[in-house]
């Protein structure tokens, strides 16, 4: 636990990716940057975890993808949230907040 960056717990990456894409269509690098910035630079999503997550969420129908051109004129796949993805984001957020609250109660108990 000496590392200052936090490891993503299993199961949290999907909800973080859905949240990042809920702010508007994003390419993979943009998703990782939004998560990093909104976490106060505490969470850094590795490409080896991010792209499989994006593809998994797309297969589940929670994201749709379309090819476009990034801000630096490179071809990139842009992801956007579907209606099912928005519902999953709501459910995942509620689940995560309940889980976090339960862990906090245990850690703060005497």
Four-point Cα dihedral 54, 55, 57, 58, nearest 10: 120
Confidence (pTM):
0.88
From the number of C-beta atoms within 10 Å of its C-beta (0-12, 13-18, 19+), residue 37 rates as exposed
- Please give the angle made by the CA atoms of 37, 89 and 54, to the nearest 5 degrees: 65
Residue-by-residue pLDDT tens, the chain, 110 positions: 444 445 566 579 999 999 999 999 999 999 999 999 999 999 999 999 999 999 999 999 999 999 999 888 999 999 999 999 999 999 999 999 999 999 999 999 98
Please give the C-alpha separations between residue 64 and each of 22, 71, 81, in angstroms, as whole numbers.
Answer: 12, 20, 6
């Amino acid at each position: 636990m000496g590392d200052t960056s936090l490891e993503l717990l299993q199961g949290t990456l999907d909800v973080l990716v859905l949240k990042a894409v809920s702010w508007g269509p994003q390419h993979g690098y943009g998703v990782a940057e939004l998560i990093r910035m909104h976490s106060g630079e505490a969470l850094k999503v590795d490409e080896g975890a991010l792209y499989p997550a994006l593809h998994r969420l797309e297969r589940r129908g929670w994201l749709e993808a379309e090819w476009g051109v990034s801000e630096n004129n490179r071809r990139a796949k842009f992801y956007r949230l579907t209606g099912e993805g928005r519902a999953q984001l709501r459910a995942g957020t509620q689940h995560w907040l309940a889980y976090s609250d339960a862990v906090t109660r245990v850690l703060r108990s005497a």
